[in-house]
Structure 1
């Protein structure tokens, strides 16, 4: 996913169609000069609908769609004929898309399955024709119900990437290098902060033609939950990952301290993230010998499975994949 093509936030005005008016009509035939009321009902206004599409990975196709408008329903006709419903507007979105009310920030729903359809903004109901209003005392009502107005509202769509494993770490921890080493993904890699400016997805091959999906999330810094650095813009993508793979480079001043800072930022953003399974990968281990690794193990947190790896030399990458696979299926 190129930087310019990854869009995970859009805001637009959603306007559903108004319902059609009910008909005021009386049956008139050659031998029935004073037939009763037979006005049909108005058609329903068009809905605005979201549909999950597993082939979409971004909201790019909705970036410039500032107004989404559905058609109004048609009015009823004589002979108790119901007017046609307004045409629905269906917006296809990636799995993991969350719909929110732009004014209140309230979450409406989330699209998680391919083909799942949810009405975002319902169309107005059609009005009842005069056939519904006849009574014993008023057998020729000259009125019908107007159609219900459509709804106009501002909507926010946010995308949370669906992946089995989310990479969590400070900038330059080696997340992008790992993803490019064990999958076909080609994220930008460089020795400077925030090389990764958008999330990247990669399918990682495992034994016996199995696979899992890994997401490289832009680097977290201390204070990210308060908006520092790239802020919380990408933290929401971690919410959809089954496992969190923490990456800390072997040359970090303190592995345990960096791990605790990362945990703290996740907890401040959403405490439920701490309930996810965690694995720790100590990257850039090609610069270490066996004695130094053994010495560094003393400062590795005791409450998380860990492995020393090197994406460049492929050191322990199979062991890392074994740990991930076991965590996904345990």
Structure 2
């Protein structure tokens, strides 16, 4: 019996090793090292969903959406996680990169100021300085669009200054170097954790603008449809796992794969994760996770054209995104 048991264990180990060798390795470029923000991905890795699809994901953190798109265009990553504004800019520049999965289905960015500043709207920031994390990140296009809607132009009515994220943003407010900040979810949580009480100046019509999502080059899409089906199916399973209340602690554990430091303060991490779960829930539940509404893309496009972030309207906006995998990804 013992010999048989040892042999069985040995065979299982050999099978696992063979399975590991069969996994297709892909690189995913992300614009920041947040484990919590990518909870669906790390659940998919930690729960073994990616491995079940025959995929091994190596995550590469770069500095902002523009670099994500550069890495994709150079063939240094198979998947990327850029914002919609930078992706449209890249397409205007000739890069055929396609959004395949709308991950942050509601806006992950906000225009914020200190609560005691007296500011109540973007118009109050005339002549003021707005801090941003990166010079060409998705949050810059988002906030520029807010000012454009208010009839305000960069370098005439307001100015941007790149100060970084986290503690750098806190210092920016404390040293009066900035009057407002273009913040993502982590940034707002960090500022509040450090004692900066905030007021959100984002107009209601901008809160529905979707944020970063998964993208690939057209060439990769055409040549790897089966792999993309598996990748997205694992992501959806990871998102659903995280959305189940009983899996909150396990999701936090999996998020440590991406950024252990964010999990050192478990209470802060738990509150932040709950916000991410809300912002990644399907905007159109009947369509499922990852769905991209044409009207939402049109709103982004028109806003970027109006603000000058796009030089001219695109001939065919539908080439920037695809919903062809949504039904397969969300099938029970």
Higher relative contact order (CA 8 A, sep 6+): 2
Q: Which has the higher strand share?
A: 1
- Tell me, yes or no, whether TM beats 0.5: no
User: TM-score w.r.t. structure 2 length?
Assistant: 0.25
Higher helix share: 2
**TM-score, structure 1 normalization:** 0.25
Larger C-alpha radius of gyration, 1 or 2? 1
